[in-house]
A and B are shown apart, each in its own frame.
Chain A
């Protein structure tokens, strides 16, 4: 009885409208945080376009780098990037997808598996320049490959491997368990289930992950500088054992020069790089929306 009276005596100063106002204010501020991020993105894009557009020309694609801005182009860098991407993809895709299948479909639940999983998670967080030091010590020096495309591609493959493994696992996990059971109940081995069902149905999502991994690789600069990818290459790379340069390194090189004309060239190079990235991402989104099976 007494507690009830006591309760009745408490006066609440609820002032709901003030509390709601505070909430509204916070919502607006939080929304502006996102807008600020988007505004920064737009500023960056516009800045690059304004700087680079005057330098976009066919010469950019047909000419080798040069001391003279009006004669300089990205020919060797573009070819180097294409070579590097192809070589990286050839190594990283089968290994990454394979490791993803193993961890998701075959691996027993034991210490070795857990150890591998922790390893993959950790590798995804290792700074890219550390991969460069690994490539420098292992591929360039110890394996004696020198500063070649193949050494760069091996370094890059190790760098994107964790991304491919993780996205492959996510893609595979989206295939319902009931499909695996249906196939196993027909007398299939676990590999046949993976080969004819799991991989087939998750292929669009795996492809999406691979494209994202490759778009990470195409913009990556630091590890290639570390293994010593040269910046001045005035010939077309002929094979995996040629020395090379790539698009982002050429951009870096031009940014570092004091002459503002080279900054324009760098911006033009960035436009090309971003255009390539944009088309890769568009392809990834298209794959995801068009080909993905909805369960």
Chain B
């Protein structure tokens, strides 16, 4: 590993749904301004792990977690920390585009407003434009900012969701299979965008598409079901992406990757 700055780090993380241990004993790190992919077969807890990073898991009433997740060295599960603050710093883009049924402008402005932006209208306009440019959407929507976010195409909607996330200047953006609901061209656009975004942000992406992981990510965490009856997911290998895809140390990683590549 290199000595990049560690932004996120899990320590012996276990997540339960009721009595069910969904992911167990996860230890890995996310480095600043890098794209980290989490891959693995479906149902192995990739999304659960991702949603632990911004405490979205808590919305499932039966969910609870053990261990630590450090964000810049600070435990985000510390009782004195408000999940609202965590989510302000660690943004998220979801599997299906989920713009608010408000105008394109409002979709972006809302996050700024609730997070205490008190500037003038023209400052707000600037920030909205910046966010849309940052998400490579500005040229397509600059003439119809007052139209509903739902009027855009699927790929545009997803870039709107990315613009919405970056508008509040998070440090980390979590992406849960952001391209899985999109066509190949829209997917490529999102991938290009991710490479640009990593200049300023740290990205963690869950994907079941290994070509995508190989194309965009710098680091890859391989998850598998292990333990009693193979029901709990864990990270079995974590390394630079080119190593994972060319010289994996774990036999299971190799089987999975080669199996999929045929």
Contacts and interface: CB of A to CB of B under 8 A. Distances in A.
B84 interface: yes
Nearest to A180: B59
Interface string B146-163: 000000000000000100
B189 interface: no
A116 interface: no
B166 to A, nearest CB: 11
Interface string A125-151: 000000000000000000000000000
Contact of B87 (A179, A180, A184): A184
Interface string A165-207: 0000000000010111111111111001000110011000000
Given A187-B87, A189-B84, A182 B101 contact: no
Contacts of B98: 176, 178-179, 181-182
Contacts of A188: 84, 87, 111, 114
Interface string B92-113: 1010101111100000001100
B165 interface: yes
Nearest to A186: B111
A259 interface: no
A201 B99 CA distance: 13
B59 A185 contact: no
B233 interface: no
Contact of A185 (B54, B99, B101): B54
B28 to A, nearest CB: 22
A109 interface: yes
A103 B84 CA distance: 21
Contacts of A192: 114
B84 A181 contact: no
Contacts, number: 65
A293 B165 contact: no
Given A109-B61, A188-B84, A178 B114 contact: no
Given A196-B110, A197-B100, A185 B92 contact: yes
A197 B84 CA distance: 16
B94 A181 contact: yes
A107 to B, nearest CB: 11
Contacts of B84: 187-189
Contact of A293 (B61, B88, B101): B101
Interface residues of B, number: 26
Given A178-B94, A189-B84, A197-B100, A184 B59 contact: yes
Contacts of A185: 54, 56, 87, 91-92, 94, 165
Interface in B125-181: 161, 164-165, 168
Nearest to B99: A182
A192 B59 CA distance: 15
Nearest to B91: A185
A41 to B, nearest CB: 38
A184 B56 contact: yes
Contacts of A109: 61
B46 to A, nearest CB: 17
B114 A186 contact: yes
B115 interface: yes
B59 A186 contact: no
Given A178-B98, A179-B98, A181-B98, A186 B56 contact: no
Contacts of A176: 98
Contacts of A182: 94, 98-100, 161, 164
B78 interface: no
Contact of A186 (B85, B88, B96): B88
Contacts of A187: 84-85, 87-89, 111, 114-115, 168
Nearest to B98: A178
A24 to B, nearest CB: 47
7 contacts: A178-B94, A178-B96, A182-B161, A185-B92, A186-B91, A187-B84, A187-B115
Interface of A: 108-109, 176, 178-189, 192, 196-197, 200-201, 293
Give the 3 A-B residue pairs with the shortest CB-CB distance, closest first: A187-B88, A185-B92, A186-B111
Given A180-B59, A181-B92, 6 more contacts: A178-B98, A182-B100, A186-B87, A187-B89, A188-B84, A192-B114
